[in-house]
Structure 1
Amino acid sequence: MNIEALQTKYPIIDWEVYTEDSRMYWKIIRVGNHTEVYQVFKDMLKTFDRDDLVKLCSLVQERFNSTEPTKDKEIKIWVELKRLFEPDANEELWKF
């Protein structure tokens, strides 16, 4: 068995909100069209390393610099990533 092949890291190149039946998911698209689908943000974080998180954040920021998030999943990912990367010094939580 080729252990290196099992450890190959496919960088994130895009994301989208994906709907199946009546449920919405985040679809993470990696190099080579490898995709992952998540319904819960916390579950997505469990499979990400820091590089994934930084890349996703930059892709989300890039998209919403020119448009406004309209779907609940778009708003959720925008808010959660802003919370992770841009803590608000005026919030009580960040004063401690």
Structure 2
Amino acid sequence: MVNRMMWIAWPAFLAACMLELLVFAFVDPLELQWSGQALGWSRQTVYTASFFAFWLVSMVACALTTLLRITPAEVNECPFDRGQRPAGCPGESGFVS
């Protein structure tokens, strides 16, 4: 489970870093507007908020990719140890998926 979380968080972090660099190479945070009004945030606040927004969106994309990569055997695997499996658990009748 920790490995899967790292498969999601690390590439998303790198993607957020690249997006931050690309976006703010062309956009001045002090000129951002919301509904025609100046945003009124400092540069550092805009950089921080946008980085976490980019990271969140990238994590959702990476999580979806990780979810779609799961094999049917992993989905159908019984989560219990062999001695604690209930009667209907896959792999209990001698058939191992």
Bin for the TM-score computed over the shorter chain:
under 0.3
Which of structures 1 and 2 has the larger relative contact order (alpha carbons within 8 angstroms, sep 6+)?
Answer: 2
Task: Compare the two structures and name the one with the higher strand fraction.
Answer: 1
TM-score, normalised by the number of residues in structure 2: 0.26
Larger radius of gyration: 2
